[in-house]
Chains A and B, each alone.
Chain A
Amino acid sequence: MKQSIGIDLGSMGIKAVLFDGSVRDRLMIPTGWNPRETGEQALREIYARNGIDPSDSPPVVLTGYGRNSLGKAGPSVTEITCHAAGSAFLFPGAGTVLDIGGQDSKAISLGREGTVNDFLMNDKCAAGTGRFLQVMAALLDMELDDFSRLPEDVPPQPISSMCTVFAESEVVSLLARGVDKHSLALGLLDSIAGRACAMLQKLGGSGPVAFTGGVSRSRNLVRLLEKRLGRPVVTSSDAPYAGAIGAALIAQKSGKSRS
């Protein structure tokens, strides 16, 4: 298969992959305040690390909320279409995708060959997304990665607010009451799981759910999701790159051939 490049300009991280039937290279850079500049940097690094001459670039497809900020690099396709294509590639048995990224979450029901059958997205706020966890991590004096390795022998503390601002004050008052920090962290994840489940159940479907996006790195969340859903939840270390992989797959269908 020829080479292609997919770039996912997300709200928190920019992901880029070089693809030729399998993922040859991948990188992730924090988006910062200038998605265009960071996107260009990601593309330059992919070129440099793989000895690609920028003037003879393989086809590039852009996705993510910043997809239109890198106009010249290639056509743009929405993250919903790309996550569907990328997830169908990474998780061939899954009929449903749950993607939780930096500022939104979405549930996609897959059609044939990784196309989108139907999809739902969360409300326009950052409730239950990576940004939500980031704010809560700061509050609990934790790193984002700590949400992946929480002890499982503590009960999750129920958190009733989903709004980032309200949840923050709820967590502050629970901390003041002396509630265990791990219990709170698990509770926050469980509230995300509850919200994601509602979205998946509204969408319908059965069988394994492919979990993608940056938040999919939390092993604890995967287990909480499985418990609530009663369906297997599959993910992998490449799951945060699913959008970029999907973009690269779509780029395969367009542009000049290259071996």
Chain B
Amino acid sequence: MADYHKMWEGLGMDLATHDQLCAALPPAFEQVFLTQKDRPQGMDYFNMVIAEVHGLRIQELLEHKARGGKIIGSFCIYVPEEIVLALGGIMVGLCAGSEFWVPAGEQVLPRSLCPLIKAGIGAKVSRTCPYFQSVDLVVGENTCDGKKKAWEVLGDIAPTYVMDLPNTKSSAGFALFRRSMADLVAKLEEVTGNRLTFDGLLSAIETVDRKRAVLQRLYETRKAPKVPISGLDMLLASQVAFYDDADRFVSQATALAEECEERIKTGKAIFPGGTKRLLVTGTPIVVPNWKVHKIIETSGAVVVVEENCTGTRYFESRVDKSGASTVEELVDAISHRYFDRIHCACFTPNEGRADDVVRLASEYGADGVVGLNLSFCTTYQVENEKLRKRLQSEGIPFLALETDYASGDEGQLRTRIEAFVESLGR
């Protein structure tokens, strides 16, 4: 990686602390990813993106800003990327996946909060995330209790806008969501200095839908009896989707999908016969959180699908823009795509998620389901009980795990996962 210290200094970063992070990431990446056998060649691009995640990509964002474009940060897939793109902005998922940022987060937040929120806020507090330092606006959202209160804390140290979200999937809930979408459009128009146009929004919808389609195409290859790509590599590719330039991501992911499809044709297996296929469901898995996938895939199993915000919820549905002839109708269509089709535990009830898990388990031929939740994530933890009962009635084995970003519980997690895999039979 080139020397980006000058760029980081210009962003007001804490260089000494950030250097520690930069030193820790490559060995961790190597140990998790490069020890895998028979990785698709198409993963080289994604390796490069991770190596340059705080370098080249930030440089591109700064160039975009120099041309007058805006950078919008987000922590949630209810924040519509289409609107940001249509207004000449770039949307990035913000840093929230490492234990590295948790202590700084705990300076301003209680310890008994989910590590994603603590790491996210900690990345800003410690000035060690160049994305956070580059954004013109962070769009927060009223999803879980932890996040909606954390925005109040973040608001003091970063430009923050909070999108209000309903609690129920009712018609009143949709009305609130649609109104929040209109408010967000107004806010983003103000920040970017641009106005939404029909053609601009249509083109942005098509760009984001192409990203969703290629992720879907990649996921489809995991349905094959001989899985052509590890869960870890697929996780990395979908994590990169939150940072990368959308068009470039689509072309690189298409090449990777073609390679995986070719592997299926030639019957190439990267896991031994008898490897158990697992569906992972629960809370988001953001960069560089690769902990549980790594343990699963070194315990006699492979992750074939993720039902979470960095998995199927991110890409499974498209915007139904048929019949829309005005900007307002396009925003209606976008609102329906997000509100109707993303099943987050912040909503009550949230039966759609259990239906999705059961359907995906069947589509992907999963032998079992792992409910993977971040510590202190109340909504998902409570929902686990209903999910357990539902899966029991469907005859699908279920293992509930709760963990954070620290490595201290890897031994216990491995024992649980190995035992679960053993119980699935040989």
Which A residues are closer than 8 A to B by beta carbons?
65, 77-81, 104, 111, 115-119, 121, 124
Contacts and interface: CB of A to CB of B under 8 A. Distances in A.
A118 B419 CA distance: 10
A104 B415 CA distance: 11
A78 B412 CA distance: 11
A65 B422 contact: no
B411 interface: yes
30 contacts: A65-B411, A65-B415, A77-B422, A78-B415, A78-B422, A79-B419, A80-B415, A80-B416, A80-B419, A80-B422, A80-B423, A81-B419, A81-B422, A81-B423, A115-B423, A115-B425, A116-B419, A116-B422, A117-B423, A118-B397, A118-B398, A118-B423, A119-B419, A119-B420, A119-B423, A121-B412, A121-B415, A121-B416, A124-B409, A124-B412
Interface in B253-295: none
Contacts of A77: 422
Contacts of B416: 80, 121
The 4 A-B pairs at the shortest CB distance, nearest first, are namely A80-B419, A116-B423, A78-B419, A81-B422
Given A81-B419, A118-B398, 18 more contacts: A65-B411, A65-B415, A77-B422, A78-B415, A78-B418, A78-B419, A78-B422, A79-B415, A80-B419, A80-B422, A80-B423, A115-B425, A116-B423, A117-B423, A119-B419, A119-B420, A121-B412, A124-B408
Contacts of A117: 423
B373 to A, nearest CB: 13
Contacts of A118: 397-398, 423
A81 B420 CA distance: 9
Contacts of B420: 119
A78 B413 CA distance: 12
A80 B409 CA distance: 17
Contacts of B423: 80-81, 111, 115-119
Interface string B38-61: 000000000000000000000000
A111 B408 CA distance: 31
A115 B425 CA distance: 9
Nearest to A103: B412
Interface string B172-213: 000000000000000000000000000000000000000000
Interface in B398-426: 398, 408-409, 411-412, 415-416, 418-420, 422-423, 425
A150 B409 CA distance: 35
A78 B415 CA distance: 6
B132 to A, nearest CB: 31
B392 to A, nearest CB: 8
B82 to A, nearest CB: 41
A118 B409 CA distance: 21
Contacts of B418: 78
Nearest to B415: A78
A116 B194 CA distance: 60
Nearest to A68: B414
A121 B420 CA distance: 12
A77 B408 CA distance: 22
A184 to B, nearest CB: 29
B408 to A, nearest CB: 7
A85 to B, nearest CB: 10
Nearest to B385: A202
Contacts of B398: 118
A65 B415 CA distance: 8
Contacts of B422: 77-78, 80-81, 116
A124 B411 CA distance: 10
A202 to B, nearest CB: 9
B394 to A, nearest CB: 14
Contacts of B425: 115
Contacts of A78: 415, 418-419, 422
